[in-house]
Structure 1
């Protein structure tokens, strides 16, 4: 339990100054994170990305002039947001993995991608340690809280009681949301 609290506190410090638009809008959020980091972030939706055996539904590639986040297109908007926020977690935690993964699934998922871009991704696609994955998940969870993406819904409409309870209890992350 103490380890989880330390992880949450550490990740909270990483996301504290990151502006989160209200209502949440992923492209706007990525633009603000890019501005915060001083690097443009490009979101690329890829159909069938997670179709490969054991292949992730998203990844982040750091290029010389921009960061690119690849996300499975064929899923719900909430899941796409969660995938992208997980990759932002890796960015904000400065994760630089050390094990190169098999890229066969990349070739199958992205047959139309320019060879130079694909070659760069092959050179930079890596796996992360369990600790790094936990950090990225925690950062994504904290950002989801701040974005209000985890709110309960009834008949497709927001269930306002949860919001009111959160506001009454003064949740520190919700207090920092941007308007």
Structure 2
């Protein structure tokens, strides 16, 4: 999975940690169907995010009433479904989405008990782990020891 993801992201120009909105934009350029991450006020009792695959585009709906970090995680998780080639479930009234507008189905993110949810969470972790580790990285000193330590602790080279 990691090797396939690396290749897909390299082709899309995702070669360092970046905002998940930018990841969606870059992936969209290399696909037949663009990906539109969109804030959507999902029902409080429903999922925080949904992936809605359409005939000509795909939407990732995410809860606007949560933290920016949580939104990044939601988008990364839903991208995981797309990148793994998962199939959607039917939209349910409890999803809080107008099913007349989106009749293609959705994958709802409320538990990680299925293999698809575990795969999507693995991809989300891979997409986000290095971005979190690289925040606030200080440039290493010029000594070989400092550079080796920086590489071991958070160098962006080979981030995925």
* TM-score (norm. length: structure 1): 0.66
How far has the Cα of 1:102 moved from its partner? Answer: 2.7
How far has the Cα of 1:171 moved from its partner? Answer: 7.2
Choose between structure 1 and 2: higher helix proportion. Answer: 1
Checking the alignment, whether the CA contact within 8 Å between 1:59 and 1:87 is kept in structure 2 is: yes
Is residue 121 of structure 1 aligned with residue 114 of structure 2?
Answer: no
In the alignment, the residues of structure 2 paired with residue 30 and residue 37 of structure 1 have an alpha-carbon distance, to the nearest angstrom, of 11
Q: Taking structure 1 as reference, are residues 126 and 22 closer, same or farther at Cα in structure 2, changes over 3 Å only?
A: closer
Q: Say what the alpha-carbon RMSD is for the aligned residues.
A: 3.2
Is residue 77 of structure 1 aligned with residue 68 of structure 2?
Answer: yes
Q: Secondary structure at the match of 2:132?
A: coil
Q: Secondary structure at the match of 1:82?
A: helix
| Structure number with higher relative contact order (C-alpha < 8 Å, ≥ 6 residues apart) | 1
Name structure 1 gaps, 5 residues minimum.
Answer: 1-9, 108-112, 153-157
* TM-score (norm. length: structure 2): 0.73
Name structure 2 gaps, 5 residues minimum.
Answer: 140-146
How far has the Cα of 1:50 moved from its partner? Answer: 5.0
Q: Taking structure 1 as reference, are residues 74 and 137 closer, same or farther at Cα in structure 2, changes over 3 Å only?
A: same
How far has the Cα of 1:103 moved from its partner? Answer: 1.9
Checking the alignment, whether the CA contact within 8 Å between 1:14 and 1:92 is kept in structure 2 is: no
Instruction: Describe how 1:50-129 pairs up with structure 2 within 5 A.
Output: 50-52=43-45, 55-97=46-88, 99-100=89-90, 102-107=92-97, 118-126=99-107
State the partner residue of 1:44.
Answer: 38
Choose between structure 1 and 2: higher strand proportion. Answer: 1
Q: Secondary structure at the match of 1:69?
A: strand
Question: What number of residue pairs does the alignment pair up?
Answer: 146
State the partner residue of 1:130.
Answer: 114
